[in-house]
Structure formats: C-alpha cells, structure tokens
Structure 1
C-alpha cells in the first residue's frame, strides 16, 4: 500500500474510530443521561408554571422588568429564550434528541451485551469456580438427573454436558431494561413528532354557525397538513345549565362535523372533559360568551345585534350592545347582559337605568315597543391536534410492561459432579433471600436420603 493509500484509509477510518472510542462512550455514560433527564424535567416544569402560547401583552403584564421574578425572569427573558413555547423550541427538542441518542447508545453498548451474556450458558468444570458464586455448597454425593428434575419443577431451563450442569430462569428480567429503554425512545419520538406536527387553536363560535379551524395560536413547523381543510364544524346549539342558586353548573355545545358537501359525518354534544374527536383533531369545551341579542321593534322583523365583551377591570364579565329606536339611528338604548338566562339591563343615552327585562319580554322605550326575542350564546372551543399522542400512549404502555418484566429475577445455578463430590452453586440479580431459600430447599431434597445435611457456604456477591 502506498503512502497516499494509507493516508486515505486513515482519513476514512478516523470518523469511525472517533465514534467508537470517543463519542459512543460519552453518549452511553449514565451521568450524561441523568443530566439530560433532569434538564428535560426542569424545562417541562417551567413550561407548566409559565403560561404557554399567550400574547406579548400578557407576559409584559405578568412578568415585568421591575421587579423581575426571582431577580431575572422578565417578559424579555421569557420571549428571547422561548419559555412561552418551551415544548416547540429548538433547544428543548435538541435535548430530547440527545437524550434519545444516549438511551440508544446505552441500549446497544450495555443492555444488548448483558442480554447476550445471560443467554449464553457456560459450564463450571473446576471446583474453585464455585467459590466465586454468591451461594455454593459441597455434597458428598449427588445426582445430576435428580437435580435436573428439581430444577425443571421450578421452571429452570437446564443444560447438561457430561458431569456439568447449568440452569437459568427469569431471562425476561434481562429483557425488561431493553423494553424500558425502547418505551422511553417511543415516548420521546411521540413527543417530538407531536411538537413539530401538532397545533392548538381557539374559536369563539355563535350558536347556529358553521366554522373551519383558522385561529391557530400555536403550531409546529410541520403542522399545516394537520389543519382540517376538507371538513367543517357546525354549532347546532349552545346552552348553559344553572344551579338553583344561579351559578353555572355546566355548559354544552351540540356539534356536527360536515364534509365538503355539507353532509353530517359525525355528531356529538360536548361539555367539559367530554370532547369531540374527529380525524386526529379534538374539540374541547373551554369557554362561553354572549354573541348577540335578537330583538323586534314594534312589528319589525327580528333583528340580531352583536354583543361585545366590556372591560370591567376584572370585576366579572358583562356584554353590551346599542339598540337603535329610530330609523335614522339618532336615538337608542344600551343593553347589558351578564349571562344567557339572567336579567338584561336597559340604559338610556345618559347612562341612567331605564328598566330590566328578560328574554321573551317586551317594554316600551322611546315610544317604541322593544321585544327581546332571544339571547344568542357563543361557545368557546379549544382545538388541538397532536399526531404523536398514539406513540406516547403506546410508549407508556410498553414502559409499564418493561417495568414489570424488570422485576423478574434472573437466577443461575451450576453443578459439577467430580468423583464422590458434588458441587452446586448459584447467583441471582435480585431477590437474594428468596433465591437462597430456593437453593437451600433444592439441596435439602438432594440430600434427603442421607442423614448429613449439606453445608452451605455463602460468599459475597462478586
């Protein structure tokens, strides 16, 4: 090989050697995995404590510069770092990808070799080898065939070669950690996929109207294909149930999903904690409002006037509108409402209370008969799409299975028959006391025909 060929060979092999000797041990380091997991937990907590997806004005009002929360946390810090949308920031996704890489490296460098070693049987053909075991015994007589039967009764898988024997059970306990790692990778993949493809929207829709999802407040970089375009939702009816004391008990929205031809393809009445799900998009009942008031002036047709939410300085929610009482709009009255079934208040142009009225009632105002036909409510819907949720749910299910599998003890027993001496020993990775009792019981049954009780020597675990 020429010098040039040798140089090119080294150049090609250098990245591979760097990955094996430097990068792979670093990624599989338990300390790095713990540090990354703590970082994910910390920023996840921050995303729970700090409100996500709010307007800049919200953060300026709640996280002012003077005084700064904890001396440093201001609205500028929140928006520059991205703490107002933690789960979709590039650095949070990078931490999760790095943690997934660490789990993968640990699985292939530690868990798979451990499973391979556990599946490979090795016979002990020297008495001194039994001294290294956690539990060992030397009998003056023994039978490999009898020991094989006793072990098989206890669900051991037995391998025998000449005068040596090896038995194991609980290999599933070695598979458990691999399943746990796989489940965590699946959860991470689902979380990352949901972050870049999911979206959150909010809509305030009057009763009786049809809408498509448009008011998106938070979305991933690949979320556009998830936004529904070939179907819409109609709010058939919105209503509120009140308690006898007048407080809101529950509010409901009767929704229909319509295809692009206007045909109903799904229907459900939703309320809090009972959403509508259709094609991966979930509609939650989260808010309500007063959308409009329907009135008649004398014998006129029913007029629908929009209601607006008024600024009360945090002293409750009140909606208001102005009702003209003359065709040229020169006179009118103001109407206020605080709910859909309560009393409506009428004020004149000077701000004086004229009267109170309820839905279905009539009153004379400015020489005009004003009839309140209906109060139209609007439903507040939060709309979410997260394609990663099935992966996350599957990951958690797999995680529970892996944890259960990890509780199985991987027990190993060796035996050697050499002349008139019979050596037996074993070890386990957990439940040491139960394993000692099991092995002593086996030895007692082996020596049951003899008066001499076998001497068991407990050795420290190597």
Structure 2
C-alpha cells in the first residue's frame, strides 16, 4: 500500500532555498546573487550529473587497472606499439599523452573527484539537511479532516491520547503532546543515514586525493645482507614528504624462496630489520606476498626477486663475492650470469649461469663450452683450476609505498557501512486527535510499510481492548 503525503505545514527544502526577498517590488542585488547561487547549487546537486561523474570515475578506474601504471616508457613502447595500435588508436604515444600510464594522479582524474565531491556536498546541503530539519519538526493535526490525507488512518469510538501515548512510548516512539493532539515519531536515524553516507563518500574522496598529492611509490632490488634507504622513487605527489628520514633505515637480513615439488616457486620471503640512526634494531619482521612490513607510515611489499651474486673460491684462494647480472634471453625465461676470473691479471675466466636460487649453476670454460653443473657447497674442475661455489646470494624486490590518505579512506568506508545500516531504519510517524468522544489515529512511514501497518493495527487493537 503506497502512502499519500500528509498535510504539510512547512515548505519543502527547495522552496525554503529558493524563496526570494524583494525590496520595493524589485529583487535586490543580494537576492539576485542568492538566486544565482541556488541555481548553481541545484545544478551541481543534480542526480544525473552525480551518476555521470560516478560512471566516469569508475570507467577511468577500470582503465587504470587494465593498463599497467607507472612503468618505464620502453615498457609502453613494447606493449602498445603504433602499428598496429590497440583498438586502432591506442598507441603508447596516445596513452602517455592522455596520462593513462598514471591515471590516478592526473589533473583530470583529480578534477573528476573534486567535482563529484562538490556534487555530494551540494546535495547534502540543499536536500539532505533540509529534509532532516523538516523531519525533526513536529506538527499536530487539529482537525479530523487532516487524517484523510493519510493512507493509513482510523476513527475509534472511544480512547484517549493518554492511552495511545503510553502504547507508543512502549514501542520506542518519541511522543509530543499539546492538549488533545499528539504527534509521535521514531527512526530519525533513517533520515540521518543518507547524510552519513554522503559524508563518508566525501571522506573517501578526500583520502584518495590526499594520498595522491602526498604519497610516493618506490621500487628497490636489495641483495640479501644489505642495509638500504629509499632512493628509486618511481612516482610521487607534489606534496610528498621525504620518503625515508635519515634517522632510520632497513636491512635485508636474509632472502629465500620456497619451491614446490615440481620446481615452481611456492613463496618468497624477506627477513627485514628496521634500524635507527645508530644501527640498532627497532623492529624485525619476515614479509612475503600479501604480508607487508609497515614502519613510520611507509609500507614494504614483497613483489619480486633476483640473483644478486655468488660467493666462490678458486683453488686455495680466500672466498670472494661476484655480482650477477640478469641476461637477455629473448623471452625464454629469466637467467642470471657472472664471470669468474681464474688468472691474477684477469686475462681469462669462466662463466656461471643460473635460473633460480635452488643452488644449481651451469659452468662454462673460457672457450664458452659447457663444463658441467655445480651445486652450492660443491666444486667443479675446469681450465686447470678447481672452482668452489659456496653460496648463491638472492636479492629481494620491494615495492615501497607511502599513502597518508589510507587512514582517511578506511574511516570513510567505516562511516559508509554505518550510514548504509542507518538508512535502512524506518522513519515512522503517528498522529492522534481526541475530538469529543472520538479518537482519530493515523500514521505513515518511509519504508517497511507492512511492518508499520501491523504495528499500528496492534496499537489500535490494544486501545479497543482497554475500553471493552
């Protein structure tokens, strides 16, 4: 059953906002400016504009998910060539020109967020707040004819407003009385819910914008055992602070990989220590994929790995460490190699190649011929020397991010869930008028119509029973 609106004594929010004040029969300059301002607010608060902005934000967010963000120009040149261009037009030049390689920090995406936030704010002040203000006011029906405006009303041959007030209060209604008239309401939280939803969305937008303007992202490849500070910044907002204060740093104590029985990577780990300016350990944590380290507002994610080097000995020489470099395999997997000098004047040497950190390396003599495989902790004889391979040294790939807007975004999502739950609360209103020996009762609600009807019918039955 749909409800008809009751007889209203207040003006609607739109009327309250648009009624001009005239002086000498002509609108004053102030009133004209107020009219223009109200028209602008109503235009910004238009639901169609808000939906269009929301769809645009969603569309560009999807593009930022599908197109890899923050990569080097060479990456886009390789994956988005001009001939043939993706979809016939999307080449690397178009992609970079439009800023699709950094969607979330472009001026036009931030402008969409600001405009959408402005639309939400305008809607809150022009519609939601006036609606809440009108809902908090109470009015009394002083004539029996007023109840004809309600879709749900009844006329009882006996009863008093005192009796119905007690029944309504027992059902959590807030009751207002004036003589023989009564007004009761409950569920005002249902009117506050949409305002909380709007405020929470504004918090989410503010957090996203603040994070973009003040955050940064870095990529670091750190060999096991090394101490480091952040230097390789890939992207940063215009207001980003110093990425890593000089009074602390990180050390990679150890990096290792767990392999599955078939030789594939199961998981890779980094044992990290947070050090103060004097090198003392403040915190220590082992991270892996989806388990980052957070320190002083900076988050360290495990994202990549590599082979940093190898520790070897030749005959009876002391142990020395050689760096390893990643080789170009033409797309046939990853491989690292190093060159080991076997003469003091470095006029000759052998090569070691490996594909992973499982401990097996391929050894090639000075002529480039395969001499055999050698595992860490063992040796191989080639070119008249004995080469001992003591250890493979891994390097951890860390993605380092600072996003000061995250707490604001999380707070916004928390309030959003609260506002959605509040919005499901029914705002119910009941009026009563005692006229002679007749009691007129009526009510309305904005949702859960059937539940409200049962509740009001139950109240009327109790009133009838009390008089029998």
Q: TM-score, normalised by structure 1?
A: 0.92
Structure 1 position 204, deviation (Å) = 0.5
Q: Which residue of 2 aligns with 1:458?
A: none
Q: Structure 2, unaligned stretches of length 5 or more?
A: 1-22
**In the alignment, is residue 109 of structure 1 matched against residue 126 of structure 2?**
yes
Q: Which residue of 2 aligns with 1:456?
A: none
Q: Which residue of 2 aligns with 1:70?
A: 87
Pick one of 193, 215, 233 that aligns with 2:232: 215
**In the alignment, is residue 371 of structure 1 matched against residue 388 of structure 2?**
yes
Pick one of 358, 367, 373 that aligns with 1:356: 373
Pick one of 128, 135, 138 that aligns with 1:121: 138
2 CA distance for matches of 1:347 and 1:102?
68
Q: Which residue of 1 aligns with 2:342?
A: 325
Q: Which residue of 2 aligns with 1:265?
A: 282
Pick one of 418, 425, 445 that aligns with 2:435: 418
**In the alignment, is residue 180 of structure 1 matched against residue 197 of structure 2?**
yes
Structure 2 CA distance for partners of 1:357 and 1:435, relative to 1, 3 Å: same
Q: After superposition, what is the alpha-carbon deviation per residue over 1:411-457, rounded to whole angstroms, capped at 9, x for unaligned?
A: 00000111122111000000011111111111111122567xxxxxx
User: Is the contact between residue 154 and residue 440 of structure 2 (CA under 8 Å) also seen in structure 1?
Assistant: yes
Q: Which residue of 2 aligns with 1:460?
A: none
User: Is the contact between residue 365 and residue 383 of structure 2 (CA under 8 Å) also seen in structure 1?
Assistant: no
Structure 1 position 226, deviation (Å) = 4.3
Structure 1 position 228, deviation (Å) = 3.5
**Residue correspondence of structure 1 range 162-181 to structure 2 within 5 A:** 162-181=179-198
**Residue correspondence of structure 1 range 122-271 to structure 2 within 5 A:** 122-271=139-288
User: Is the contact between residue 213 and residue 228 of structure 1 (CA under 8 Å) also seen in structure 2?
Assistant: no
User: Is the contact between residue 270 and residue 284 of structure 1 (CA under 8 Å) also seen in structure 2?
Assistant: yes
Pick one of 422, 437, 441 that aligns with 1:405: 422
Query: What number of residue pairs does the alignment pair up?
Result: 443
Structure 1 position 232, deviation (Å) = 1.0
Select between 217-226 and 395-404 the one with higher mean Cα deviation. 217-226
User: Is the contact between residue 270 and residue 288 of structure 2 (CA under 8 Å) also seen in structure 1?
Assistant: yes
Structure 2 counterpart SS, 1:435: helix
Q: After superposition, what is the alpha-carbon deviation per residue over 1:385-408, rounded to whole angstroms, capped at 9, x for unaligned?
A: 100000000110100000001100
2 CA distance for matches of 1:92 and 1:328?
59
Select between 366-375 and 153-162 the one with higher mean Cα deviation. 366-375
2 CA distance for matches of 1:373 and 1:165?
91
Structure 2 counterpart SS, 1:193: helix
User: Is the contact between residue 158 and residue 167 of structure 1 (CA under 8 Å) also seen in structure 2?
Assistant: yes
Q: TM-score, normalised by structure 2?
A: 0.91
Structure 2 CA distance for partners of 1:30 and 1:436, relative to 1, 3 Å: same
Q: Structure 1, unaligned stretches of length 5 or more?
A: 1-5, 452-462
User: Is the contact between residue 197 and residue 226 of structure 1 (CA under 8 Å) also seen in structure 2?
Assistant: no
Structure 2 CA distance for partners of 1:263 and 1:15, relative to 1, 3 Å: farther
State the Cα RMSD in Å.
Answer: 1.8
